[in-house]
Amino acid sequence: MPLRVQRDGPLPIAEQIAEQLMTLLRSGRLRAGQRLPPVRVLAGFLRVNRNTVGKVYAALERGGYLLTTPGRGTYVSASLPRRGEDTLAPLIDRLLDEAAAHGVGEAELHALVVGRAAQRARGDRPRVGFVECNTSDLVYFSRQLAARLRVPLVPVLLSDLPRAASTLDLVATTMFHVEEVRRLLPRHEVVGLMAMPELSTLEVVAQLPSAAKVALVCATEEGVRSKERSIYAVGIHRPKLMTATLQQEGKLSDVLRRADVVLASPKVLERISGRIPPKAKAIAFASVLNEGAVGLLEGRIRAWRPSPHTRRAETSRRGARRVGQPA
């Protein structure tokens, strides 16, 4: 469950958490009957006070979105409140308030909304590329991102980026590669996305016996560092955590031989399934793109406007396609 808080943001932390949870609920990414992380785990993951998370859960339960059962935990309600005017009214009020604060009257705001709707209907959208350094992560994260965005997404390997640059308007990548991508594409806007492990997996890891020898296996060193940070961020301290990547053949064989538990992404587990000893328990340790960062990318897409050069290039491409079509 990808959540993030901005401590210096304009909204209180509790409101940030509540809004992100509501987005996940309304989009269906939190499904009916799905169990939410305990207050302690989510508070540790976000590094906020437990009371803050507890109040958010309580407010969503009062609104009919969550159901808490003593001894079992907090779950998404079987039937969520219907969306409609009551749901949109606060959003419209906030838009009106923001417009007024910037000196935009209701008539002008109406014209802006109508114009923006027309632009969306025309399909005036940027070409967005997602960049990763290996095929496994590229396919995995591209699928996540494509399911969220309303524009075509172009997956690009980092090694192919210079050749693909001219076909892209906006570029997204994980935070591990954002500086490198910006150096390669100094004229493009590059949005960094944080990839974070699923909280449900962290909860399972937290409940493992303290003496268990845990092997963390990732495709890359960046993946190892990311998942290690997430494990420690929620207060899980494992002196017997062993790590290896797919490229470290000798080290990988050693940690798998010694492991009681193997943590790896679903794709990596497929690669090493035949090498995991029968005594070891395999746990899929999937990562998700941070909700706040994806929202930032969505905002950049909405704000994007084609430059005259972009329009001329697109017109030229369309003309070339028409000329090449058979009569």
The predicted-structure confidence for 193-244, as pLDDT tens digits, reads as follows 887 777 777 788 888 888 889 999 988 887 788 778 777 766 667 667 899 9
CA 280/CA 266 separation, integer angstroms: 16
Domain ranges of the chain: 13-76, 87-122, 128-194+290-324, 197-289
Model pLDDT, residue 52 = 93
For residues 272 and 217, is the Cβ–Cβ distance under 8 A? yes
Q: Do domains 128-194+290-324 and 197-289 have the same CATH topology?
A: yes
Q: Which has the minimum average pLDDT: 129-138, 160-169, 217-226, 234-243?
A: 234-243
At 310, the pLDDT band (50, 70, 90 cuts) reads low
The CATH code of the domain at 197-289 is: 3.40.50.980
At 322, the pLDDT band (50, 70, 90 cuts) reads very low
The predicted-structure confidence for 5-61, as pLDDT tens digits, reads as follows 877 766 788 888 988 888 888 777 888 889 999 998 888 888 899 999 999 999 898
Domain 128-194+290-324 indexed as CATH 2.40.50: no
Q: Specify the pairing of strand 128-132 against strand 153-157.
A: parallel
Model pLDDT, residue 97 = 87
More confident residue, 237 or 102: 102
Model pLDDT, residue 112 = 79
Residues 6+ apart with CB under 8 A from 225: none
The CATH code of the domain at 13-76 is: 1.10.10.10
Model pLDDT, residue 326 = 42
Check whether 158 has a pLDDT greater than 50: yes
State which of 138-152, 159-173, 185-199 shows the largest mean pLDDT: 159-173
Check whether 316 has a pLDDT greater than 90: no
pTM beyond 0.75: no
The predicted-structure confidence for 254-268, as pLDDT tens digits, reads as follows 999 999 999 988 888
Beta strands (DSSP E) in 64-213 are: 66-69, 73-76, 128-132, 153-157, 170-174, 189-193, 195-197
Residue with tokens 């799905």: 34
Residues 6+ apart with CB under 8 A from 206: 41, 234, 235, 236
For residues 185 and 171, is the Cβ–Cβ distance under 8 A? yes
